[in-house]
Amino acid sequence: MSVGKVVLAYSGGLDTSVMIKWIQEKYSAEVYTLTLDLGQRDDFREIEERARKIGSKEHFFVDAKSEFVERFIFPAIKANGFYEGKYPLSTALGRPLIAEKLVDVAHKVGADAVAHGSTGKGNDQVRFDITVRALDPELKVLAPVRDWGLSRDVELEYAKKWGLPISESRSKYSIDQNLWGRSVESGPLEDPFSEPEDDVYEWVTPPERAPDRPEYLTLTFKEGVPVALDGERRDPVSMIQALNAIAGRNGVGLVDHIEDRLVGIKSREVYEVPAALTVLEAHRDLEKMTLTVHELAVKAELEDVWSRLVYNGLWLEPLRRHIDAFIDSTQRVVSGDVRLKFYKGHLQVVGRRSPNSLYRLEMSTYARESKFNQQLAVGFIELWGMQTITANSVRSRASG
C-alpha cells in the first residue's frame, strides 16, 4: 500500500507507540498522532511528549468530553443502550467519535490514510474502519496489529531495536476507559469460571467493603437526559463524574458477562459502569411513568436494534438515525425526578415523580375515594376473553 501521510489514533501505550515508527519504516510515510480526552484520566501532556519523541510529525489533542456526552452518551441514555441486556456500550460509543476526529485531522493535514491499534479479534476494528470509510471512502485505513500480526513480544523487540521510550511493565489485563465506563478483559479473566480479583476494580468498591449505611440521591431528567443531582443543576460531564464516584463507592456498577463479539467469538468481559447503570436504571423507571404501554413496547424492540447497531460499528447507519427520531419524539415527556438508593452493590429506585406522569392516584387507589368504576371491568373481560372462551368451547366439543 502506498501512503504519504498517516494520522494515527494514539493512546500512548505500547501498540500505538510502536506503530509510529512501524508506519514510518514500512510505508515511508509521515505520521501525525491524535489523542482524544473522553474522560479516561490519562496524562495527556506525557502522551504528547512520548509521541513527539518517537517521531510524530505533529500531535493533535482534542478535549472531547462534552461532545462525547452530548452526541453519544445522551442518545444512548434515551435509547436505554444495553448490548445483550447488560453492557452499556461505553467503549462502543467512544470509537466512532475517535474515528470522526481522525478523518477531520486527515483532511486538515492532507493525509491519505488513518491508522488505529485494533486487533483482528475484536469489535473496535469494525467500528473504526466502517466509520472512517463512511465519512471518507477515499481514505485508506491501516491497522498494523491486525494487518502485520503484531504481538507484544514482537512489539517490545521492535521498540528495543529503535530505542523507543516504552516501559516493559504490563498490566495483566487489557483495559479501556472513558466517562461512561471502564472495560477490563484478558489475563485471569479469560477463565470464565474464575471470580474477578480485586485488582480488576478501580472505580467500584467491592460490595462487601462498601459503606454500611445506604446513600440516597435524586436524579432529575429533562426530556430524557439527566440535568441535576439533588436539585443542583450540573454540566453533563461533571454530573457523570459525580455519579461514577457516588455509585462506585457504594459498590454499584459491576458487570461480568459472556459477550458475543461481532466476529463470532464469545468473550468474558468485565465492566465498571457505575454512572451508566445508575442513569439508565433511573431513566427506564421514569419512562414507565410517562410513556404508554404501547410506546414502551415498541421502544423496547427498537432499543435492542439500536444497541446492536452501535455495538457492531454501525453508528453512521441511516437506520440508527431513523430510530433516534422516534426515540427523541418519545422523550419529550420523559421529565421528572427519580429517587435512588445505593447500598452495598444494590441500586434501587425508591421514588419517582413527573409533571407528565400517567399514574393517577384517584384511579389506582384502593381507598373509598377511588374514581375507577369497577363495573366497567365486567364488560371488558367479556370482550377481551371472547375468542379464547369460544375457541376452548368449540375445540373441546370437537375433541370429544
pLDDT greater than 70 at residue 298: yes
C-beta neighbour count of 350 within 10 angstroms: 10
Terminal-residue alpha carbon distance, the chain: 77
pLDDT band at 162 (very low <50, low <70, confident <90, very high): confident
pLDDT in tens, 192-212: 999 999 899 999 999 999 999
pLDDT band at 154 (very low <50, low <70, confident <90, very high): confident
pLDDT greater than 90 at residue 56: yes
Rounded CA-CA distance 220/247 in Å is 16
Mean pLDDT for the stretch of residues 133-154: 91
Residue by residue, DSSP assigns 226-252 as EEEETTEE--HHHHHHHHHHHHHHTT-
Distances (CA, A) of 2 to 23, 97, 278: 11, 26, 48
Indicate which residues carry an active-site annotation. Answer: 15, 95, 124, 174
- pLDDT above 90 covers what percent of the chain? 85
Given a contact cutoff of 8 angstroms between Cβ atoms, the answer to whether 33 and 10 are in contact is yes
**Taking the model in full, what pTM does it have?**
0.94
pLDDT in tens, 334-348: 999 999 999 999 999
Mean pLDDT for the stretch of residues 265-278: 97
Given a contact cutoff of 8 angstroms between Cβ atoms, the answer to whether 349 and 339 are in contact is yes
Nearest to 200 by CA among 147, 272, 253, 129: 272
What pLDDT score does 169 carry?
Answer: 65
pLDDT greater than 80 at residue 311: yes
What pLDDT score does 168 carry?
Answer: 65
Given a contact cutoff of 8 angstroms between Cβ atoms, the answer to whether 69 and 90 are in contact is no
User: Which residues lie below 8 Å from residue 163, measured CB to CB, with a gap of 6+?
Assistant: none
What pLDDT score does 282 carry?
Answer: 98
- pLDDT above 70 covers what percent of the chain? 99
DSSP 8-state assignment for residue 209: G
pLDDT in tens, 350-385: 999 999 999 999 999 999 889 999 999 999 999 999
